Structure 1
């Protein structure tokens, strides 16, 4: 059995049938990658004396695929490199309380959008404060839906420029020691308030469990915003 076929058979394990629909669809793509299930195109040598035919099976294009995902990742990184600004960059992470996991699983699109909105607005509002920067920074955000132990753990990673543009000119970073960009406690408080406001106002969200109990559990809990020192270089 070819190594590629043996590898793809891992994605056909019977236990996968217990996964959620999204995960099952991902594994189905990975199992079918570069096989007839994804179709193929036929190439013929244009030399009359040859005329050899070659079948090229299509890839799945799934971002989770070890083959397809790496190419898309490299292209994405190259595009981001073109956007780098001549300043330091900070790494920040906005997480959600685990009590919200069932709710997020049932409302992925809505709550992931709300996560991005609350995190980005927290960063932008702090950046516009004169005492912190007084300008709009460059922000790149990436969603992660798993933790280090591969459990469901939605959070968003943010790469934030230390300097920014105030609409007229470039504003240099105000914190020359580069220990932090904005205070973690201030960001966590604003992020929590904005997310909860959006959560309570959206009547289209499908609740799993008692809504009041869930809101009470997360309202009196500390929300985590992690802010690291700048990277060694923008690259």
Structure 2
């Protein structure tokens, strides 16, 4: 809510006004719903039926940009004008904070991503396995590992063929201890929700169509993604890692997964295909616009499960929430009306646990492989006759992050040409 501050009102009073006089009805409908039903969340937390992160994230998001979370005071040295800027909550359940976080994450990603086409691939798990990951959310780490292993096998086919599946299954991270191999790059982020807000954990991967050979110290293009191989490999890796974690103890459970999914687990990419090896009409496409591809890829990395503009009505009298989603299959709009408690449950199950990283980096995109990434950038720079040195990339990143500071972000968001305190 916009608040006008007057110099004759004490700061303490302003803080209370800013926190207690709010209008979420139209600006932030999700916050309005949780503000009106916060006691339900507190009862869940007190009874131990809610994870500790839920109440914390909800309360922080409701106090976002209020003085209860602290504030900065700005004074003009030439006159008596002053203003206070309340702090944001930095919660992963807050739509407002998520926008800025996603932009920062995208800026960092584009600063080190290679200037080459990238593939956007989605790895999903079958419906019968989803509840197993919800029972213990640390198991979601296995989705990242399986995705990483699948791409590693695909880019090192000649080495993988030399090893039997039994030997590969002895290692959590495949090829981790093999020094001579092709190195790939990958940014992976997890979504636990579908458009209908149901529990559906899946991994989005952004992979450059370029690999680095340690043995030859050369880079080469890698643009042939065999989706039959992808499906079969991700199926094998998911089942192997789940068994390693203590799941699928009965042999018939494992065999049923292979029997019910003879083509492997479903692999999906957002863009339409022009490759001949894919059976899916929408399964295999790259993007040459790395900035646009990263922005699309990162957009949900730090945001709640749904955008607030998808809520069409919150009826306090009937305690119902009306919202909509567009189905992936037919892109038709589906309108839903939920009891407010059911709607709240739909959202809070997707709040990530404390310290759980929803975005991770592998191969030469990992933090531990900065020297390898510098080599790849140098080789690519020679090939394209461009400067991709770390110093140049750091300078570009600094300029992008400066544009996301409070003042410049305000100008960019509201198209303001000037701002005075």
- TM-score relative to the length of structure 2: 0.46
d(CA) in 2 for partners of 1:156, 1:137: 17
Label 1:86 to 1:130 Cα distance change in 2 as closer, same or farther (>3 A).
farther
For the residue of structure 1 that corresponds to 2:115, the secondary structure is coil
Q: 1:148 corresponds to which residue? A: 195
Q: 1:194 corresponds to which residue? A: 237
Q: Which has the larger radius of gyration?
A: 2
Q: 1:124 corresponds to which residue? A: 152
Label 1:88 to 1:55 Cα distance change in 2 as closer, same or farther (>3 A).
closer
Shift of 1:55: 4.1
Whether the aligned pair in 2 keeps the contact of 1:164 and 1:172 (CA below 8 Å) is: yes
Whether the aligned pair in 1 keeps the contact of 2:142 and 2:238 (CA below 8 Å) is: yes
Label 1:101 to 1:23 Cα distance change in 2 as closer, same or farther (>3 A).
farther
2:73 is equivalent to residue 26 of structure 1: no
Q: What is the root-mean-square deviation of aligned Cα atoms in Å?
A: 3.0
2:229 is equivalent to residue 182 of structure 1: no
Which runs of structure 2 are paired with 1:35-184 in the superposition (5 Å)? 35-38=66-69, 40-41=70-71, 43=73, 45=75, 47=77, 50=80, 54-109=83-138, 111-129=139-157, 135-167=182-214, 168-173=217-222, 175=223, 181-184=224-227
Q: Return 5+ residue gaps in structure 2 as ranges.
A: 3-21, 160-180, 269-282, 292-421
Q: 1:178 corresponds to which residue? A: none
Label 1:82 to 1:230 Cα distance change in 2 as closer, same or farther (>3 A).
same
d(CA) in 1 for partners of 2:209, 2:78: 62
Whether the aligned pair in 1 keeps the contact of 2:64 and 2:88 (CA below 8 Å) is: yes
Which residue of 18, 34, 37 maps to 1:11?
Answer: 34
2:249 is equivalent to residue 221 of structure 1: no
Shift of 1:158: 0.7
Label 1:49 to 1:117 Cα distance change in 2 as closer, same or farther (>3 A).
closer
Whether the aligned pair in 2 keeps the contact of 1:143 and 1:155 (CA below 8 Å) is: yes
Shift of 1:49: 7.2
Q: 2:300 corresponds to which residue? A: none
Shift of 1:231: 1.7
With 64-73 and 10-19 compared, the bigger mean Cα shift is at: 10-19
Q: Return 5+ residue gaps in structure 1 as ranges.
A: 176-180
For the residue of structure 1 that corresponds to 2:32, the secondary structure is helix
Label 1:164 to 1:220 Cα distance change in 2 as closer, same or farther (>3 A).
same
d(CA) in 1 for partners of 2:32, 2:103: 26
1:138-193 Cα deviation digits (max 9, x unpaired)? 211111111121211100111111121112011123x5xxxxx3211212212121
Label 1:28 to 1:130 Cα distance change in 2 as closer, same or farther (>3 A).
same
d(CA) in 2 for partners of 1:55, 1:159: 41
Label 1:87 to 1:43 Cα distance change in 2 as closer, same or farther (>3 A).
closer
- TM-score relative to the length of structure 1: 0.78
Label 1:104 to 1:48 Cα distance change in 2 as closer, same or farther (>3 A).
same
Give the length in aligned residue pairs: 219
